[in-house]
Structure 1
Amino acid sequence: MNKKLRGLTFLSIPMLAGGMVMTTGCEALDKAADACGFSCAVEGVAAGNPSISGVASIDGFFGAAVDFSAQAEGIVASINAELAAIANSVDLEGGAGADFSGGFDAALSNKFGLEGGIGVDFSPPQCSIQASVVADAAASCDVEAEPGSVTAECSGGCEAEVAADGSVECSTEAEVSCTGTAPGFDCTGGTCEGTCSVELTAAASCDGVCDGTCSGSTDAGGKCDGMCQGECKTEGKADAECSGKCEGSCTFTGPDIKCEGGAKAECTASASAEATVSCEGSCSGEVTPPSVSAECEAQVNASADINAECTPPSLEITYTFAANASANADVNAQAEFSAWLTGFEANVASLAALEAKLLKLQGAATGLVSAAGGAVATAALEMDLGDDLGASYKVLNCVPIELEVVISTLGTAGTELTASATATASFMGAIAPAG
């Protein structure tokens, strides 16, 4: 423990205050604690107040804990809302706590006449992180860093600026990619996430919805089990190639491409496992923060996960109506199902993105709890604050109390996140495609 902090407790306040009465304006010993800064905040981390010590590196950690708690509470509430909406839509009892693994298929059969449940497939949701947020967290925590001099590294794609002529400047190790989102964006040679429309002038197979002549039969969703002549529309995932028009987002990648028509540009690190690009914008991969002190590290790492934004993915849905349903009942059920499916798709896509963010928060919680009982606590004991006795008092007496609050609060939040993760996994298992 730092010698300047040893023994600086509330019992020593009268002696300290007595020596400072003439110079600090502390006029009465019973008011010396508050007047001279020898007191802890009435409301601390549990009330959303991170200003505990007046020391940037310590209070920055408490700020990260406060931000985490707010994010975790919001994610849990949002997941519960999506699960409850799905359960209620098929008359499955239990709301967010419904038994999806044991009852969802039966509920779909009872309500819509489906046979074998429903299958939903999608690529993992893409999460992006503002690298500047991570760099700013590092700079605010490290008092020796010069403003604007701290940067973060990105292992995926980093959003880049597009010049007036559409050119994009990336480092020599990075590759340029352009993503356009306008409806009807020509995606020939690119990958589409959304609906890819291809004109079939001659009959050909169509792994999607046939808007034209189908040589076989079509289901309620318009999918053709034969040959299609006309327009074929397929729902693509992020890695689906599209030889027609993409109604969604289409990405081109190459060394000499230009990003025009409002397309978003990214500089993507090479395929090397350790390759990164310096990044100040939005990073679609993992962000590597700059080197900081031990007490700052957990705060900076947590800021990346806490501020991550995860995008709902495009879905591929499969289903079959029971063959033994009567003609009229089958038509009515299919019409009702088609209307229900629109809302269901939105719920599932949102839930997938929330699950991805939840995993980020679980990682942040682990790091923050570890630091609260380790690096931050150690730094507080070893910190030399010179003649700032008020700050010294708070670091020695207030910080340990609030670190215990952080550990307890994050433990409770972690339990709630785990429960939400379990419920989400149960539902996702119920809708996973067979095989």
Structure 2
Amino acid sequence: MRSPTRISSPQPSHDGAPAYRNPYEELAELADPSPEDDDADLGGRKDQPSGVGSDSGSSAGSGSGDDGEPWSPPNHRRSSRRRRGRFKAVPRTAKALIGLVVLGLLLVLGDRWAVMYAERKAEQQLQKKLDLATAPNVTIHGFPFLTQVLGKKLEQVDIAVPDVAADRVSLAEVRAQAQDIRIVGDLPSSFKGAVVGRMKGDVLLSFEDLNRELGASQVRFRALGPSSVRADGKLPVAGKEVSLHAKAHIRRQGDRGISTSVSDMRLDIPEIATYRPGPGADAGLFLHKKAAEQISEDSGKAQALLSIPAVAEKLGVQPSQADRAQSDGRELDRITGSPRFVPALLGVNLVQAANDHPQLARKLGIDPTVAAALAKLKVPELTDKLELSFQLPKKAKGIRLANIGVSPEGIRADLTGTGLNFGKTR
């Protein structure tokens, strides 16, 4: 029969205080006894280790460990103390370095935030004070920014302004680099203005904008040379479309403007004639070479021209010869077959003949109403359609233009300025 397992009570220590047994040993005693223990119970308890279930002060009964020290519960806070201990083991120099790095990052982030805030405020102020349709793009250079603010002096500020109105046209882009800037007021709360020590930049009058703003007559502009622009397009005249061609030479007007002088202007009636306006000797309506050659081969058109004494005289044909050519085919062939006929015909101004003899104009393929309308066109009226000039805005005081030229994108000019005042500087 299995003997009941006894749980020993706390045993007194040497000093009289109760000594607590190891709980793991008590759990072991609660387990089922081994077969040897059953035999001992049946035949009488034998070979029972001393101290088990007795009041002796042995190591098993006293709850002490193998080394004789009193048992104590495990301390589960050692790991956290160990982690804190590892951080304490980091040298103070490394801790200080980490702290400086973190502080530096915070200062840099704060400085960059202040720059972005100041740039946004400057963009709003410039748009308002210069009455711009689009807010400019302002970039403040220099680090740290906050020290510049405290000193009220900025090293460099880049400004890019798109779409600036300049008289009839718009400047596609104005870029400026301002240096040595003295701030008036306090950034960013009470900014009043600034004084720019020196400034440089450039402006672009793009052909794309010129085509849109001056292209009501379907005129297109392109670069022709370092200081010239080519204009080509269509122009409605008396309900018909004629081709327009001209050259515009770019030059500086004073130190704040650009002007153009238009030359070699002509309006073409396709494959028939060209009209050149103006009071010069080359002004008037002149046949194309191909049309003149066709007339020399067409007896009807040639006889119609020779029937007009003023035209025959300009062709170098005597009145008697012109009269015989009306009825004598051989005389007509002799006149029109001469190597001098076509070149002479190209030099004949047909404006008056077309106006006085509408039937002749129609026979030559020229609409009399178009010829009459072309003769009424005035040079200023035409050049106004090709006017590329502009002036810098009046509010941009102290800025001057220099080094004007033509690029594939449009007309460019450099900007310069010193001692420029923006806003309230007093």
Q: TM-score range by the shorter chain?
A: under 0.3
Larger Rg over CA atoms: 2
TM-score by length of 1: 0.22
Between the two structures, name the one with larger relative contact order (CA 8 Å, sep ≥ 6). Answer: 1
